A = this chain, B = another copy of it.
Amino acid sequence: MQQPIKLPHDGRPTVVGCAGRGPDAVDGTDLVLRRFARFVSLTASDRRYLTRLVEAAAVHPPRRTVLTEGRPCDCLHLLAGGWAVEYRTLPTGGRQVLRIRLAGEILGAECIAYGAALQSVQMLTKGVVARIPRAEFVALHTTHPQLVTGLHLMGLFERAILQEWTISLGRRPAWSRVAHLLLELDERCRVSGLARISGTPFPLTQQDLADCTGLTLTYVNRVLTDMRRKRMIGLRQQELVILNRDELARASGFQPRYLRPTPPLGPLSGQDAGAAPRPVASVL
C-alpha cells in the first residue's frame, strides 16, 4: 500500500531538465515561489532566479537517498516537488526522523555551516530537487538578498517545528505524539496548498511514523487503530482525513501558532532597513 512506483532505493537522478511536469505532478516552481513569498516579498528577479533553479532540477524516485549523513556536501538542496524525510541512523540500528519535508523547503540546510550533511535525506514520494552550490549561495547575498533573508526566516520557522517535535518526544505520551504529528502535517499541507478536498496526501508508512515519534511500529499501529475506532481520523491508502480536529488538538496540546509566522513579514534586508512600516508579503 506504500509506494505506487517501485524503483531501486538508490542511484543517481533519473531525469534532469524541466522537471516535475508529469500529468499529476504539482507545479514545482509555483510551490517554491509561494513558500518563499510566505516569508519575504520577492522581486521579479528573485522569481526568475527561482524559476530557473527549479527548471534545472533533478527528478528522484520514491525512497531514493538524496543526502547521506556525514558525507561532505557543499550545496543547498531545494525540494521543488514531492515529500522527503530527513533522518539520522543510530549505531543500534534505530532511525530518528528529524523532519518531514514538503515541496518548497530546503534540504540539509546545515551543509552551509558544516560543509557536510549531518543527517540523511530520503524521498518519500517521487520528487524534484534543485541544487544551489555554496558559491552561488554566497553570491545570493548581493544578487538576491531577499532570498537569503527568506532562507534565514525559513530556518527559524523550521526550527520551531523541530522544537515542537522535541517537546512531543520529551513530554507527550504516545497517543498525543501521533495526534500532534498528524495535525501538524495536515496543517502544513493545507497552508502549502497541497491538501485536496478529500483529505491530505499522506505518503508515510507506519514505520515512518514510528521513526518520527520515537515509538515502535507495533505501538504506532495500536494508536492509529484506536484513533480510527474512535472516529478521530481516517487514514487509508495514501490519504489522511482529520475527523475530530478539536478533540485531537485538545488531547495532544496542538496549537498551530508555531506553523504561522506572523503574516506581514516585511523585507528585512537591503534598503528597506529601519522606518518602513513592514509591507505585507504579497502572496504572488
Does A96 contact B167, Cβ atoms closer than 8 Å? Answer: yes
Q: How far is the CA of A170 from the CA of B145 in the complex (A)?
A: 37
Does B155 contact A159, Cβ atoms closer than 8 Å? Answer: yes
Candidates B39, B96, B172, B269; contact of A141 at CB < 8 Å: B269
Which of chain B's residues have a CB closer than 8 A to the CB of A151?
Answer: 152
Candidates B141, B149, B165, B172; contact of A270 at CB < 8 Å: B141
Does B265 contact A113, Cβ atoms closer than 8 Å? Answer: yes
Which of chain B's residues have a CB closer than 8 A to the CB of A153?
Answer: 112-113
Does B137 contact A141, Cβ atoms closer than 8 Å? Answer: no
Q: How far is the CA of A39 from the CA of B110 in the complex (A)?
A: 13
Which of chain B's residues have a CB closer than 8 A to the CB of A283?
Answer: none
Interface residues of A in 196-222 (CB under 8 A from B): 213-214
Q: How far is the CA of A257 from the CA of B117 in the complex (A)?
A: 11
Q: How far is the CA of A270 from the CA of B152 in the complex (A)?
A: 16
Q: Which 7 pairs show the lowest CB-CB distances between chains A and B?
A: A170-B214, A169-B169, A141-B269, A113-B156, A115-B262, A139-B273, A96-B170
- A-B contacts besides A113-B262, A166-B169, 11 pairs, CB < 8 Å: A95-B171, A109-B156, A109-B159, A110-B156, A110-B160, A113-B153, A114-B261, A138-B268, A138-B273, A138-B274, A142-B270
